[in-house]
Amino acid sequence: MVEILNTPKIIIAGPCAAESKEQLFATAKEIYDLRFTIDLQFFRVGVWKPRTNPNDFQGVGTEALGWLQEIKKQFGFKICVEVASAEHVKLCVKNDIDAVWIGARTTVNPFLVQAIADALKNSPLTVFVKNPVNPDINLWIGAIKRFQNVGVEKIMAIHRGFSVANEHVYRNAPCWEIPMALRLKMPDIPILCDISHLAGSVPLQQTIAQTALNYGFDGLMIEVHHAPDQALSDSKQQLLPSQFAHLLQNISLPTSNNDADNALFIQRNLIKNIDIQISKLLSKRMETVDKIAAIKTQHNLPPLQPEQWKKVVEVYENNALDDENYRQFLEEFLLLLHKCSLKRQG
């Protein structure tokens, strides 16, 4: 028998949405086939999908709960679904669902959270509370406390990133300092990272998973689909089961008893995460420079516009470290950036 990988303590995986019985069983079967190497705690799936666009796929709804009962019996998975109302909770309890998660759009509304909490009073179900859409730690803590106050004993938090205006790399801004603050304020609440919603694409998920574990997260929530290119929602961020296995196989967990080694391990992986963001943003910047060049050519404008470049420099200087070495680096970097931008426009 193949040995179980040295993976995070808690792994939740499954498709973004229940699309059909065939799709659910195909995905569950492929994840089940990984059981000797991956210790899955919950099979996750969206039954009711609160989409931003009402014309997008909304999930098949209650019918999927019956399919999940069959999957539970056939594969032995514990089942986890998203709930957004007290009625959803009642249907989950009726259909022997093991865990529920509160989505980011729901966490932001204390009225909805309280109604769901009341429906789960003294419930044995595990409750996962995602962070609210906006970066407000008090809303997140308040939602968790509402479930504690009604006697729910198994509560975990899920970090899925935040919606902020200046995020250009990830689907949702990581804002790692917020889940870390939650850890300090509520040390007994395990924290998982939903790497799929945070990344928004497959290539970024390995680094996000590694960063989360470097920060001491207790586990990962990952969207896995047997055929992501055919998925009816969030196709770009769902992993094939083989990609899911590969991601977990390539995670590094700190194993050294040396504090210095562990500290360096964490910081080096955080730098790797930052470097990925920088490289993505630089590529986007050059793509924008090309568009500006096309507009200037169309209207017969000169490539060099000193006043506009002065504004760019001010942006960087206003956010610079108060450090002479850094300012020297910044001066050289901006000179190179300007030179490359003019070259592209020329």
Q: Per residue in 278-296, pLDDT tens? A: 888 899 899 999 998 899 8
| pLDDT at residue 275, rounded to an integer | 85
* pLDDT tens digits for range 128-164: 999 999 999 999 999 999 999 999 999 999 999 999 8
| pLDDT at residue 266, rounded to an integer | 67
Higher pLDDT, 155 or 260: 155
Quick check: 5 pLDDT over 70? no
Amino acid occupying residue 106: T
| pLDDT at residue 2, rounded to an integer | 38
Average pLDDT, the chain: 91
Contacts of 57 (CB under 8 A, 6+ apart): 17, 19, 49, 51, 232, 233
pLDDT average, residue stretch 233-255: 90
- Cα 125 to Cα 119: distance, rounded to the nearest angstrom: 11
Quick check: 194 pLDDT over 50? yes
- Cα 160 to Cα 104: distance, rounded to the nearest angstrom: 8
Amino acid occupying residue 125: L
* pLDDT tens digits for range 97-115: 999 999 999 999 999 999 9
Residue 115, token pair as written in the block: 């109604």
Residue 171, token pair as written in the block: 């689907």
| pLDDT at residue 255, rounded to an integer | 61
| pLDDT at residue 256, rounded to an integer | 57
Domains of the chain and any CATH numbers:
10-249 (3.20.20.70), 259-345 (1.20.59.10)
Say what the alpha-carbon torsion angle 55, 61, 64, 68 is, to the nearest 10 degrees.
Answer: 110
Shortest CA distance to 178 belongs to which of 166, 156, 197, 161?
161
